[in-house]
Amino acid sequence: MTEPTSSISEPGASTHTGNTWEAAKTGVTDTVCGGEALLRSNPVGAVLGALAIGVAIGYLVSQREPSRRERYIDQPLEDLQSLVRTLAGRATKQAGRGSDAAAGVVESLLARIKKNLNF
């Protein structure tokens, strides 16, 4: 059988962990100080940037509910208008077809009348 090895029991492991922690702390401190220096050198840009980010987040998060008028009056009227337009278009097509048929019937009636009256 093999005995489990532990990285904690290895010599120098705690020193390596300590060095990594100190390096991470130093990196974060440097980043914070650099950000602070950037803010101090350009405060207007920082404020405008924060404002732009806030507006973008607000726009993405906001979902305005429609008002009662929009929900119960405007939207149903728009739906009704759309339906009426669709039906009017279909009726116009049918009327066009029907007028051609009616013209044919009238022509045939006139032809019969003409034939019977010998014009």
Residue range 48-99, pLDDT digits in tens: 888 999 998 888 888 778 888 888 888 888 998 888 888 888 888 888 777 7
Q: Is the same domain home to 59 and 88?
A: no
| Mean pLDDT value of segment 2-20 | 59
Half-sphere exposure of 63 (CA within 13 A, CB side): 1
pLDDT given for residue 117 in this prediction? 76
Q: Is the same domain home to 43 and 74?
A: no
- Does residue 44 lie within any of the structural domains? yes
Look up the domain containing 54 and give its range: 13-63
CA 116 → CA 54, 105, 119, distances in Å?
88, 16, 8
Number of structural domains found in the chain: 2
Residue 28, pLDDT above cutoff 80 = yes
- Does residue 114 lie within any of the structural domains? yes
- Does residue 92 lie within any of the structural domains? yes
Q: Is the same domain home to 119 and 74?
A: yes
Q: Do the Cβ atoms of 46 and 39 come closer than 8 Å?
A: yes
Q: Is the same domain home to 36 and 20?
A: yes
- Percent above pLDDT 90 for the chain: 3
